[in-house]
């Protein structure tokens, strides 16, 4: 896993970088817990389904596994978004719409710190 540089930041507001770092730590923790959850599901499925393919728990395990896998994928995507946002705070492009180039606005960045589009572009285009 790539670690973000902890060097100097060119953010006008340092709290943005701090907030992204906090969110990153939480997301990394969430990924780890989902991974171990998934391991547990797979392990118990292997133990209980050894010689019985018609295990009544089979369907539930499959569902749990699919759900956890989906949550894990979401968390990993989130981590990528956060890393990209952190990168933008270091190169100075943070807070600028990557579609039209105008400022995204403090309020919107407060609500969605990882957004790459201003409200106008986001409403015109599908979610990025
Ligand atoms: Zn825009």
Coil, strand or helix: which one is 103?
Answer: strand
Who surrounds ion ligand 1 at CB < 5 A?
97, 99-100, 118, 121
pLDDT at 11: 44
Q: Is residue 6 part of a domain?
A: no
DSSP reduced 3-state for 58: helix
- For residue 17, what pLDDT is reported? 87
Query: Residues of the chain whose pLDDT is less than 50?
Result: 1, 3, 6-11, 128
- Token output for 59: 């369907």
Distance CA 60, CA 65 (A): 8
Residues 110, 69 share a domain: no
**How many angstroms is it from 118 CA to the middle of ligand 1?**
4
Q: Note whether 63 and 25 are same-domain residues.
A: yes
76 Cα: distance to centroid of ligand 1 (angstroms)? 26
What per-residue confidence (pLDDT) applies to 62? 87
* pLDDT score recorded for residue 66: 95
| The pLDDT of residue 99 | 94
Phi and psi at residue 105, in whole multiples of 5°?
105, 135
Domain that holds residue 128: 95-128
Q: Is residue 1 part of a domain?
A: no
- CB-based contacts of 51: which residues, under 8 Å, 6+ apart? none
In total, how many domains does the chain have?
Answer: 2
């Amino acid at each position: 896993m790539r670690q973000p540089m902890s060097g100097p930041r060119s953010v006008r507001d340092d709290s943005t970088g701090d907030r992204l770092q906090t969110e990153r730590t939480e997301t990394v923790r969430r990924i780890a817990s989902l991974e171990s959850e998934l391991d547990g599901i797979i392990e118990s499925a292997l133990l209980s389904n050894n010689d019985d393919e018609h295990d009544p728990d089979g369907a539930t395990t499959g569902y749990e596994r699919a759900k956890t896998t989906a949550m894990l994928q979401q968390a990993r995507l989130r981590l990528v978004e956060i890393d990209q946002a952190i990168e933008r705070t270091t190169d100075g492009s943070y807070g600028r719409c990557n579609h039209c180039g105008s400022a995204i606005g403090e309020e919107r960045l407060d609500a969605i710190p990882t957004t790459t589009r201003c409200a106008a572009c986001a409403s015109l285009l599908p979610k990025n």
